[in-house]
Structure 1
């Protein structure tokens, strides 16, 4: 079977049903994510879908999270603004291997989940950018106190190029800083770079990650499940109107 590195082709091939015989685990391993459609009379619960992948990660809120708009929250998960592309585990103390979302209520506009493939990124990125990424480390910070478990050892400092655990190739392990959002509760900076140089690098990253051959824009409908391998793809969110309900149930696996 030919290797697919264009995200537009991956997004089409990664779809399957949500029934008991769904091939979602094969799709997940091959593409780094899978979209389970709510077709057929019998739908697997999200807990059963995630069970073969390991034990649920435990946070301060338990092992399941309802992601929806909450008044006066300082957490970007409960606000309506865009969330830049990132991998989980930089901003809290839990290692996350897999994430599964079930759509309980889909917004009428916006709120798409964004998925970018590491394979597609390294296929599309300029050689100079890739070489720069191999030579740097990035520090991450978060202000979501009381929600995630704080890191007693301090802010994590992470190399942005890691090893893909399935292919053995390169995997992009990064969170893109978003300095134009003054109310953001997380951020990142390249170690040893000036603020301006760091922002320039993140802008280059965001540009490549937004290409249609690198990023899949998932428009939700109720009953869908979106799964991703946090070690092999990045994710983010498009903004959505305050009057557009968006409700997802999430389980993460360590």
Structure 2
């Protein structure tokens, strides 16, 4: 993003509060106005959407560090949704901060976000506010299709497509215990190979379900997890301040490398986006008046 486009978007977004962008129609209205006031933005976002669809991830450099700007731009990909976006309910933009107070700074293992939802979020937006000064906390990505290809060669793909893997749903206020739902880890459809996986949710689901997976499905899961560690299948890179990473949450798994104590100032902003064809998403808007 050029300096002039970034500055114009920052000035435009300064008139908005994230609370005004809670709904899909509000996001689309803001995006339409942004296209009118920042003409370069439409082509930039069209290019980003096309790149994310074909390559599964794209980085927009020099993006303004602003919650409203992030929510408005992410509206080009679908409806920005607050569900399961951090510990506080209804958080449209969640601040992910690696601080000394956080109980974990070990590597964040490969996962997809919102695996407990019937329709997981299609895209994630991760805006780097401040990278670790030590160069740790690097982002890691792996394609579901590459993992599936490796497992198919070992005749282990079919067990992962069975809808028997338990996921623990986070316990809501007043609930006596967490709910457990079952899904496949890998699915194949006309849109390609998709993945639904979070090691914490699966481990908790197995424990809460009160029974273990049979040996066939457990072996497939363990091989899947080992395959995720293969460096030849993964992309590793450092997000810089102002880098906005937009990634396909259904066809990619993501994580990060460890963050050492002296790098604990790392800070990202996260949005979660339902695709326009997902239930409850707003209709797409081409940024032009009818």
Q: Do both share a fold (TM > 0.5)?
A: yes
Say whether residues 1:173 and 2:196 are aligned partners: yes
Q: Where does the alignment leave 5 or more consecutive residues of structure 2 unmatched?
A: 1-39, 84-88, 275-290
For 2:143, the equivalent position in structure 1 comes to 117
Q: Which residue of 2 aligns with 1:102?
A: 127
Aligned to 1:156: 181
Q: 1:242 aligns with which of 258, 261, 278?
A: 261
In structure 2, what is the equivalent of residue 28 of structure 1? 52
Tell me the distance in 1 between the aligned counterparts of 2:50 and 2:269.
23
> Partner of 1:127: helix, strand, or coil?
coil
Shift of 1:72: 4.8
2:96 to 67, 86, 91: 67
Alignment of 1:153-232 (within 5 A): 154-164=179-189, 167-176=190-199, 187-189=204-206, 193-194=212-213, 200-232=219-251
**Per-residue CA shift, 1:179-221, capped at 9, x if unaligned?**
9xxxxxx745398645988765443112212223432113121
What is the alpha-carbon root mean square deviation over aligned residues? 3.6
- Deviation per CA, 1:146-202: give whole Å up to 9, x if none: 6xx9899822211122245xx5333222223599xxxxxx74539864598876544
The TM-score normalised by the length of structure 1 is: 0.71
Distance 1:195 1:134, change over 3 A: closer
The Cα of 1:117 is off from its aligned counterpart by 0.8
2:147/2:224 contact within 8 Å kept: no
Indicate how the Cα distance of structure 1 residues 197 and 240 shifts in structure 2: closer, same or farther if over 3 A, else same: farther
Q: What does residue 9 of structure 1 align with?
A: none
Unaligned runs of 5+ in 1: 1-18, 180-185
Contact 1:102/1:226 (CA < 8 Å) preserved in 2?
yes
2:167 corresponds to which residue? 140
| Structure of greater Rg | 2
Alpha-carbon shift at residue 69 of structure 1 (Å): 2.5
Q: Deviations over 1:35-82 (max 9, x none)?
A: 22339xxxx9422321112222124052010000356556xxxx4222
Q: Residue 74 of structure 2 is aligned with which of 45, 50, 70? A: 50
CA–CA distance in 2 between the matches of 1:230 and 1:69? 22
Whether the 8 Å contact between 2:61 and 2:243 is mirrored in structure 1 is yes
Report the Cα distance in structure 1 between the residues aligned to 2:156 and 2:177, rounded to whole angstroms. Answer: 33
**Higher helix fraction (1 or 2):** 2
